[in-house]
Amino acid sequence: MCGTCGCQDAANHAHKHEHTDKTIALEKEIMQVNDDYAGKNRQVLKQKNATAINFVSSPGSGKTSLLEASIKRLIHRYSIKVIEGDQQTQLDAERIRRAGADAYQINTGKACHLDAHMIGHAFEHLDIQQDSFVFIENVGNLICPAMFDLGEAHRVALISTTEGADKPLKYPDMFYHSDIVVINKVDLLPYVDFDMKSCIKNIKKIRPNATIFELSVKDGFGMSEWCEWLISTLKVKENAEA
C-alpha cells in the first residue's frame, strides 16, 4: 500500500509521490497554527486562573452524563463554563444548561474534532470567572481530536465498560495524550464481558503515568474521588499563583 495516498498497488501508480513533502509541510503548518491559538487560549485561562479540561471519547461513553453529574456536585462552589462540540444539534448544550452551567455549543458540521481557534472563539462568548472551570466536551471520536491541543490543562479520555478493554491499544494516540482516564459505567460490570484488569494494564502500556478513575455516573460510585481530583486542579493552580 502507498503510505501517502492509500493506493493498494504501490508499484504501478499512474501518479507520482512528489506531493509527499508538500503534504507533510502542510500538516506541520496547520498544526503550528493550531498550537499558536492553543497558546493564546492558555494565556486567557492563566489570567483568570481557570482550569480547562478537554473530555474525549468515542460516542456513547458518557462524557455529557459525567459533565452533568460533576456540575451538579460543584456548581454551588465554583463557576463552571462548558464548551460543547458536536457535528449537529444543541442537545448536549441544553442538557448542560439544565444541570446549572453556562454552555456554548460548537457545531462542527463535517469536521470530526474541535480545534484551538474554535475554543478561542467560544471564550469570547463565555464570561470566564476567576478560579473557575472550563470543561470542553470534544466531538465523539478517538482519532482526530488526539492531534489538536486546545490549550487545556488536562485531557480526560473516557472509556466505558460497554466497550472493549483493548480500546487503548487500538487508539494509542488518544490515550498517550490523555493524562487522565475515566473508566465509566462500572455498574454494568456484572452484565458485560469487560476485563477491568486488562483494560488498566492496556492503559498503562500506552500511558504509564496515567491517573485512572473507575466510576459510575448512574449510581455515583467513584464520583466523590473524581470531584476531589477536579477541585485539586484548582488548588494546585492557586498554590502556584501564591
* Across 43-53, average pLDDT: 97
| pLDDT at residue 239, rounded to an integer | 63
C-alpha 23: how far from its chain's center? 26
Higher confidence at residue 237 or residue 42?
A: 42
Mean pLDDT to the nearest integer, 17-27:
57
pLDDT of residue 21: 56
Mean pLDDT of 110-121: 94
Q: What's the residue count for the chain?
A: 242
Q: Is the pLDDT of residue 13 over 90?
A: no
Q: Note the pLDDT of residue 77.
A: 96
139-177 tens-digit pLDDT:
999 999 999 999 999 999 999 999 999 999 999 999 999
Pick left, alpha or beta for residue 26 (phi over 0 → left; psi -120 to 50 → alpha; otherwise beta).
alpha
Contact 161, 186 (CB under 8 A): yes
pLDDT band of residue 26 (cuts 50, 70, 90) is: low
Q: What is the mean pLDDT of residues 208-224?
A: 98
Mean per-residue pLDDT over the chain, rounded: 90
Confidence of residue 30 (pLDDT cuts 50, 70, 90): confident
Question: 48-237: which CATH topology?
Answer: Rossmann fold (3.40.50)
